[in-house]
Amino acid sequence: MTGAAAHDWLDAQEPALRARLYDFARIASVSTDPAYAQGMMNGAAFLAAYLREIGFDHVAVNPTPGHAILTGEWMGAPGAPVILVYGHYDVQPPDPLDQWHSDPFEPELRDGRIYARGISDDKGPLMVALGAMEALMATAGGLPVNVRLLIEGAEEMGSAHLEDFVTAHPGLVTADFLLSADGAMWRADLPTVTVASRGMAALNVTVRGAAKDLHSGRYGGGVPNAAQVLVTMLAALHDPETGAVAVPGFYDGVVPPDAETRAALADIPFDEAGFLAGLGVRQGTGEAGYSFLERNWLRPTLEINGLTSGYTGPGFKTVIGAVAEAKISCRLVPGQDPGRILDLLEAELTRLCPDCATVSFARKPGVAWPSALPLDHPGLRLAMEVLEEIYGQPARAVRMGATIPIAEMFDRVLGMGTVFFSFSTADEDYHAPNEFFRLERWQDGLRAWVTYLARLAAMERPE
């Protein structure tokens, strides 16, 4: 199965597939607002009907304490790889409505862009995946590989019940790897696949000096100043010379990027100076000896996210604060255990706290592990190969400085790698008014998914 027949089918049927995408986009499946409960149910029902029509088996709308999760499978290719295709049918709220140039729930094509709420995140990319499979089913009577589907309805609200569902029903989701229709490409001018995300662990730090705020004249000089104690502790968490995190053990297990990885990053067209200037930053900063992309993609960080003590209103108040607080988060890379990192951070802050004060901690509930796909993962290599053919330039393996909850969760819970194969782009205003999806990317995507699935059948199954 080369997919040639399916490509021909797509040439003829693309308008019909697009009409179905528009129908899907007309459903106001907003997960975060209970006022859209009917839209959520309609969205799930629409997809279930479509999946059954295509030819998927065991299509089910599975209830959860939140929104329903759709599953289904086609397992008619014994010996071929099994993939789990992931997407979501919920969308962001359309507000503020008055900033839309067209009805958010009535798709409109303008200048090569389809405008609608959720069209880029994730209804368009999801219908790319399903449309490609319809083309294969229609032309070959089945798929070249085994496919399981997992389409959730709560991605825009944190996928609260997804992990429980996956844990409870491994038989519905077990696969060689996850192929995600969600997850935008980095830039419109460069074909990219996301291969890694950083983990995260966060902590609230509270320093206490005296029992109450004190007058800086009557007491100042001889009593602990919680703000002073805190800034001194926080300043010691980084090496002033290198900008590296100075918490003992923080880098244990972190493998410095090798020459090949660094060369690949350096080879990505990226105007670092222009990018930073666009953020209003006078000069990049961070761990010495690394570029912005290396700092953000490859290296772990410790950032102060919030700071407060004493009087913070207008004017002045000569007070010595009894309490000072900081919120700290660490972005983590492979080799780091989020819980251990918080242990190390608490130990170091405790050591740094002088005898005149006390320090206490409150951890942010939940941590995220770093995740990364090996660059030689066959599903990833194939995605890059298909992209290069379409765009006529090498696809780049890019990373995320942020956490990708879905990849992190499947990696942690099922040890399953995630290949992102989405045709939306990060600039498509997907959490803002006038969300759009590029028509060309929709068409590229349909063909790319057909090619991908057809070629995947010939590949060795990954370990």
350-369 binders of its own copies (CB under 8 A):
354-358, 364
Record the tokens describing residue 208, joined without a space.
Answer: 């206490």
Q: How far is the CB of 324 from its own copies (least distance, A)?
A: 6
Q: How far is the CB of 151 from its own copies (least distance, A)?
A: 25
> Distance (Å, rounded) from C-alpha 158 to C-alpha 406?
10
Among 283, 392, 460, 463, binds its own copies (CB under 8 A): 283
Contacts of 299 (CB under 8 A, 6+ apart): 286, 287, 290, 333
Q: How far is the CB of 278 from its own copies (least distance, A)?
A: 9
Question: In degrees to the nearest 10, what's the CA dihedral of 411, 414, 417, 419?
Answer: -100
Record the tokens describing residue 24, joined without a space.
Answer: 């899907």
- Token pair 């589907």 is at which residue? 149
With respect to its own copies, which residue has the nearer C-beta, 101 or 317?
317
Say if CB 458 and CB 3 are below 8 A apart: no
Among 219, 251, 361, 391, binds its own copies (CB under 8 A): 219
Q: How far is the CB of 162 from its own copies (least distance, A)?
A: 20
Task: Report whether the peptide linkage leading into residue 96 is cis, meaning its omega lies within 30 degrees of zero.
Answer: yes
User: Is 39 an interacting residue with respect to its own copies (CB under 8 A)?
Assistant: no
With respect to its own copies, which residue has the nearer C-beta, 150 or 265?
265
Angle at 197 between CA 81 and CA 304, to 5 degrees: 165
Q: How far is the CB of 6 from its own copies (least distance, A)?
A: 37
- At 293, the amino acid letter reads L
Binding residues for its own copies restricted to 133-192, rule: CB under 8 A? none
Q: How far is the CB of 416 from its own copies (least distance, A)?
A: 22
Binding residues for its own copies restricted to 284-343, rule: CB under 8 A? 284-287, 292-293, 295-296, 299, 301, 303-312, 315-322, 324-327, 329, 331
Query: Residues of 162-191 as b/e, b for ≥16 C-beta within 10 angstroms?
Result: beebbeeeeebbebbbbbbbbbbbbbeebb
Q: How far lies 18's CA from each of 22, 26, 126, 154, 444, in Å?
A: 6, 12, 12, 24, 13
Q: How far is the CB of 352 from its own copies (least distance, A)?
A: 10
With respect to its own copies, which residue has the nearer C-beta, 111 or 312?
312
Q: How far is the CB of 163 from its own copies (least distance, A)?
A: 19
With respect to its own copies, which residue has the nearer C-beta, 132 or 244?
244
Q: Which stretch binds its own copies (CB under 8 A): 14-22, 73-81, 106-114, 216-224?
A: 216-224
> Distance (Å, rounded) from C-alpha 236 to C-alpha 107?
53
With respect to its own copies, which residue has the nearer C-beta, 85 or 359?
359
With respect to its own copies, which residue has the nearer C-beta, 85 or 237?
237
With respect to its own copies, which residue has the nearer C-beta, 272 or 389?
272
- Token pair 């004060």 is at which residue? 357
With respect to its own copies, which residue has the nearer C-beta, 15 or 274?
274
Binding residues for its own copies restricted to 367-426, rule: CB under 8 A? 400-403
Q: Whole-angstrom distance between the N-terminal and C-terminal Cα of the chain?
A: 24
With respect to its own copies, which residue has the nearer C-beta, 58 or 363?
363
User: Is 282 an interacting residue with respect to its own copies (CB under 8 A)?
Assistant: yes
With respect to its own copies, which residue has the nearer C-beta, 238 or 381?
238
Binding residues for its own copies restricted to 423-462, rule: CB under 8 A? none
Q: How far is the CB of 308 from its own copies (least distance, A)?
A: 4
Query: What are the E-state strand segments in 44-191?
Result: 57-62, 69-74, 82-88, 108-110, 113-115, 146-152, 177-180
Alpha carbons within 13 angstroms on the beta-carbon side of residue 374 total: 8
| Kind of pairing between the strands at 396-400 and 192-197 | parallel
The phi, psi pair for 23, rounded to 5°, reads -60, -45
Q: Taking CB under 8 A as the rule, which mask of x and - marks residues 229-248 in contact with its own copies?
A: -xxx-xxx-x-x--------
Other Cβ atoms closer than 10 A to 85: 23
Q: How far is the CB of 198 from its own copies (least distance, A)?
A: 7
Other Cβ atoms closer than 10 A to 313: 6
